[in-house]
């Protein structure tokens, strides 16, 4: 029962946060996002308690970092004069992605063939897409860093899907990775493609919170036995 309550709390407070976020309403934005983040971390605690394996604990660490990243990123909007908030938030999310990869490796082992295929697919796909749309986007000097980030994002998503199909990885984690991929890819278009619209922001934030819920649910058992 508590699992469903926490899922509902995450969804409700995320919805309230998104509603006020797109209307740029100050403090309530940070407060509701923090509560939504605390809810998905609490969901992670509940799920990992059912299967307290090392992989689940690493994933839980990643969720906590996601919550920290949420707080710092919104604090960077509330207090733009404090320049440290934005890089701290980005660093927290980067480490969350690393933690998820480590958790998958602990749970399923590291399959060099699957990872190599995923890395090649990610690099080719991401560079092809960004080269195709670059005329309609203003990357400036950030084209190659953005393409490398998109490549790694695509590669890890493909790897988790392969591991779910062939390696016994929990489907909820693979779904979470797909949702994270969608959310982060939208950010590229918001930042560089002049797509900072209400619709794009709602889509970006909705897929992000859905991804964190899927990650939290996967803590009940990262491997399907």
Alpha helices in the chain (DSSP H): 2-21, 26-50, 54-78, 85-108, 112-133, 143-166, 171-192, 198-218
Number of domains in the chain: 1
Domain assignment of residue 171, yes or no: yes
- Between 85 and 78, name the one with better pLDDT: 85
Domain assignment of residue 224, yes or no: no
Sequence-distant (≥ 6) Cβ neighbours of residue 31 within 8 angstroms: none
CA 206 vs CA 13, 74, 75, 76: distances in Å: 11, 16, 19, 20
pTM of the model: 0.88
Tell me the residue range of the domain where 89 lies: 2-218
What pLDDT is stored for residue 225 in this prediction? Answer: 59
Q: How far apart are CA 211 and CA 136, in angstroms?
A: 28
Mean pLDDT calculated for residue range 128-136: 81
Q: How far apart are CA 64 and CA 141, in angstroms?
A: 32
Domain assignment of residue 225, yes or no: no
The pLDDT tens digits of the residues spanning 165-187 come to 988 898 999 999 999 999 988 88
Asked whether residue 24 carries a pLDDT value surpassing 70, the answer given is no
Domain assignment of residue 223, yes or no: no
What pLDDT is stored for residue 159 in this prediction? Answer: 95
Domain assignment of residue 143, yes or no: yes
Q: How far apart are CA 138 and CA 34, in angstroms?
A: 32
Domain assignment of residue 101, yes or no: yes
The pLDDT tens digits of the residues spanning 42-51 come to 999 999 887 7
What pLDDT is stored for residue 77 in this prediction? Answer: 67
């Amino acid at each position: 029962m508590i699992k469903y309550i926490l899922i509902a709390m995450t969804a409700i407070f995320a919805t309230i946060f998104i509603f006020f976020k797109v209307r740029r309403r100050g403090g309530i934005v940070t407060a509701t996002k923090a509560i939504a983040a605390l809810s998905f971390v609490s969901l992670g605690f509940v799920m990992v308690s059912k299967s307290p394996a090392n992989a689940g604990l690493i994933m839980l660490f990643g969720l906590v970092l996601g919550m920290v990243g949420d707080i710092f990123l919104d604090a960077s909007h509330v207090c733009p004069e404090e320049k440290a908030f934005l890089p701290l938030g980005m660093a927290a999310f980067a480490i969350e992605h690393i933690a998820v990869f480590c958790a998958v490796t602990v749970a399923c082992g590291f399959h060099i063939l699957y990872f190599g295929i995923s890395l090649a697919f990610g690099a080719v796909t991401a560079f092809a897409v960004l080269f195709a749309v670059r005329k309609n986007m203003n990357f400036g000097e950030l084209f190659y860093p953005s393409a490398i980030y998109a490549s790694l994002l695509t590669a890890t998503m493909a790897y988790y899907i392969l591991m779910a199909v062939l390696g016994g990885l929990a489907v909820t984690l693979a779904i979470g990775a797909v949702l994270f991929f969608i959310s982060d890819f939208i950010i590229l278009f918001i930042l560089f493609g002049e797509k900072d619209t209400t619709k794009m922001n709602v889509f970006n934030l909705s897929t992000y919170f859905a991804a964190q819920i899927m990650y939290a649910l996967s803590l009940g058992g990262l491997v399907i036995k």
